[in-house]
Amino acid sequence: MLGVNRNHLLAGLAAILCIAGLAWIALDHFVPAPPKKITVAAGSKGGAYEFYARKYRDILARNHVTLDIRSTEGTVENLKLLQDPKSGVSVGFVQGGVSNSTQAPGLESLGRINYLAFFIFCRATDSFADLTQLKGKRIAVGPESSGTNMVVTKILRSNGITPQNATFLPLGGRAAVDALDAGKADVLIMGNVLEAPLIQNLLRDPGVRLISLPRVKALTRKFPFLTRLELPSGVVDFERNIPGADVTLIGTTSSVLVRGDVHPEIIGLLARALVEVNSEPGVFQQFGEFPTQTDPEYPMAESAHDFYKNGPSFLQRYLPFWVSNYARRTLAILVTAIAIVVPIFSYAPKLYLWFLRRRIIQLYRELRVVEHGLQSGLLEPQVIALEGDLERIDRASTALPMRHSDLFFALNAHIGVTRTRLRAMRIEARGHPV
């Protein structure tokens, strides 16, 4: 029918397989699957960023995504790693007031996640009450590449404390605590969260005292990225009344940044982790205050903003992470197939008629060959051969759907006329009547 044979079917099947393979390759390029492993730059061990990174890791693990935590010296190093495509780091914690999108292009924010307080500790026997009293002291201000170092240095300089009249020790985390315990540092300034075990241990250490800062409001006016925080009396431990009095602290906010090429599904999964971990109320923040839907220093990642605004998608709400991803890819295939198949079906009838007319015209050409062979004086074998060709043409024409072309009727009539002429020529070749 229409000249279709097994070879044509095999060629069609091969074409379909090739198209399917190309569609899969294109889909894998334009709708790639999310990675199963990502790396986050989390700051020093025992710090606030490591504290949150561990919580995020547990949440991502529930969705079969591995979050590797890389210890760093802090915000400055985190930014360098995020901007280096060969570092392997795609997510990082960044402290407010250190950089912005102009200085670090190509990075997107998942929003501000918390208040990062600057806890100032000294030995319990010391009587420091103001930052201006730290001249001549040894001050642990955090590693040189940390955001804490940059911000604390600005705060100290505004109070007249500089490397020229005090000793700035580039120590943070456990190293800074050990220096204070060993008498190698007089003051420890650490940017951290209240829940961090290191801070909790320091607050409960009777040999260490937390300094309450005066004139914090003036500092927040001088440095807009800073904010005033208050630690109420007894909020850490009611029974032991820790702290023993209200403590005024200075703080900032932190962001989680991602590279611009991070998979949208991973961004959505991270946003879900941020909501689960950081939206809870705390001593410094209200319920739902974090993560924020805006970031004053970096552009928001579209997937994160959509998640915060609209919540999880329909597929994310009812399907596991990897199942929803495959479902989304399947939907993409279906939409693509519909976009291709619908136009094909709209042109299919015209294409079918074109093939039908082409087949009839081809039979007409074969019929003309037979007609051109009708000459007087043909021998009977030659006439029989022409009759065989004519019967083959007739059988091919009867296999065509007659209702689709008027050409069929003309072809059938011409076959009848040619058959009559051949019959007469065969009688003539035999030399006797029928």
Angle, in degrees to the nearest 10, between helices 6-30 and 321-372: 150
Whether residue 227 lies inside any domain: the answer is yes
Res 326: pLDDT: 65
Q: Is the peptide bond preceding residue 243 cis, with omega within 30 degrees of 0? A: yes
Neighbours of 28 (CB within 10 A): 11
Alpha helix ranges (H) inside 286-433: 302-310, 314-318, 321-372, 380-398, 407-430
CATH number at residue 255: 3.40.190.10
The verdict on 14 and 83 lying in the same domain is: no
- Mapping DSSP onto H, E and C, the string for 42-80 reads EECCCCHHHHHHHHHHHHHHHCCCEEEEEECCCHHHHHH
Classify strands 167-169 and 138-140 as parallel, antiparallel or unpaired: parallel
The verdict on 283 and 411 lying in the same domain is: no
What six digits make up the tokens of 353? 């008629």
The verdict on 26 and 55 lying in the same domain is: no
Q: Which one of 266, 283, 312 terminates a domain?
A: 312
Helix (H) or strand (E) holding 209: strand 208-210
The verdict on 80 and 151 lying in the same domain is: yes
The verdict on 341 and 235 lying in the same domain is: no
Whether residue 320 lies inside any domain: the answer is no
The verdict on 185 and 96 lying in the same domain is: yes
The verdict on 145 and 200 lying in the same domain is: yes
Provide φ and ψ at 263, rounded to 5°.
-60, 135
Res 372: pLDDT: 77
The verdict on 365 and 234 lying in the same domain is: no
Question: Could you tell me the end-to-end alpha-carbon distance of the chain, in angstroms, rounded to an integer?
Answer: 36
- Nearest CA to 304 out of 269, 261, 328 is that of 269
The verdict on 181 and 308 lying in the same domain is: yes
The verdict on 303 and 356 lying in the same domain is: no
- Nearest CA to 49 out of 208, 193, 261, 203 is that of 193
What six digits make up the tokens of 90? 């795609």
Print the domain residue range for 265.
37-312
Q: Which one of 259, 285, 312 terminates a domain?
A: 312
Q: How many residues does the chain have?
A: 434
Whether residue 317 lies inside any domain: the answer is no
What six digits make up the tokens of 77? 């190093």
Helices (H) and strands (E) in the chain, counts: 13, 10
Q: How far, in Å, CA of 120 to CA of 139, rounded?
A: 10
Q: How far, in Å, CA of 366 to CA of 216, rounded?
A: 101
Whether residue 198 lies inside any domain: the answer is yes
Whether residue 176 lies inside any domain: the answer is yes
Neighbours of 381 (CB within 10 A): 9
The verdict on 184 and 247 lying in the same domain is: yes
Record the pTM. Answer: 0.66
Q: How far, in Å, CA of 251 to CA of 152, rounded?
A: 10
Classify strands 247-259 and 227-231 as parallel, antiparallel or unpaired: antiparallel
Res 214: pLDDT: 92
Whether residue 43 lies inside any domain: the answer is yes
Q: Which residue ranges of the chain lie beneath pLDDT 50?
A: 1-4, 434
Whether residue 108 lies inside any domain: the answer is yes
Q: What is the CA radius of gyration of the chain?
A: 41
Residue given tokens 């074998």 in the structure block: 381
Alpha helix ranges (H) inside 130-189: 147-158, 173-181
Classify strands 227-231 and 187-192 as parallel, antiparallel or unpaired: unpaired
Q: Which one of 270, 285, 312 terminates a domain?
A: 312
The number of folded domains in the chain is 3
Whether residue 321 lies inside any domain: the answer is no
What six digits make up the tokens of 159? 């109070």
The verdict on 302 and 363 lying in the same domain is: no
